[in-house]
Chain A
Amino acid sequence: MKRILGAAAASAIAVLLVAAPAGAEITRDTIGCSGTAAVTADDGTAVTVDAAATAVKIPRADSALWHGEINKVTHDHEGSVDLKLGPVSFNLGQWGPTANNQNKGTADGVKDIPALLRQFPSVKWKLTGYHKGIEGQCEGEMTVEVEGSAASTGAAAVAGLAGTAAAAAGLVSASRPKRPYQGGYGR
């Protein structure tokens, strides 16, 4: 159930994609991965999140500025960051495979936060990520809450409860046997 931030970039990107309180964990690291992400909310509030932090809080925003680095430069490397929803994974970003002939050990960029995540109610998203090359790899996971509005959370809860009630009614109906037709013509 967990892993995120592989390399530099991974960790940071993952952080941005979500929002609010969360926990991060680098589950495997042989190359010294680290990263940060800076998110600025609409009201101007800026929050910087460390990829290895145990608790993060990120406001709702359109994009995030990320930075990542590795202590041991890797070559022929690749990596990705994914969002897990049940048995399905959605890729949020990936890099490589690339030879890295320039021996780069850091990466920076701006990541647009998907509209779906911004509009969704405040829930616990699980992100996983990794970076691996010839010299080693790192991987980790992060649970993040997207800061949601009370309206979107309320609407989602009502929709969910309505669906639950309708499905429960269907199940109750299925527990009753079919009745033979007892009407008739001419009555």
Chain B
Amino acid sequence: MKGGRPFLGAFSGFFLGLFLVFDFFVLKVIASDSGLFLVLPIALAVVGLVVGLAAPALDRLRRN
């Protein structure tokens, strides 16, 4: 989609997931073998990609 930032979205989503998992780990919410270490960064990278692709549409929604 023209005008979006899918790469920035995927990149930011991936690191958001990574840091969130790290926070959970440091706060002892999860153990070191938790599947969230893999799942959360990938899931949020996909979410970020979609958000980046849909940015123009989201912007139109915001304006209306």
Contacts and interface: CB of A to CB of B under 8 A. Distances in A.
Interface of A: 1-2, 83-87, 121-126, 128, 143, 145, 153, 156-157, 160-161, 163-164, 166-171, 173-178
Contact of B4 (A83, A160, A178): A178
Contacts of B6: 174
Minimum-distance CB pairs A-B, first 10: A86-B37, A170-B12, A174-B9, A126-B33, A167-B16, A163-B19, A84-B33, A124-B31, A167-B15, A164-B19
A177 B55 contact: yes
Interface string B14-48: 01101111110111101111110110000010001
Q: Is the interface of A mostly helix, strand, loop or mixed?
A: mixed
A145 B27 CA distance: 12
Q: Is the interface of B mostly helix, strand, loop or mixed?
A: helix
B31 A160 contact: no
B32 A123 contact: yes
Contacts, number: 113
Given A163-B15, A171-B13, A174-B12, A85 B37 contact: yes
Given A153-B26, A174-B51, A87 B8 contact: no
Nearest to B5: A174
A126 B54 CA distance: 39
Contact of A170 (B8, B35, B37): B8
Given A87-B37, A87-B38, A177-B3, A163 B13 contact: no
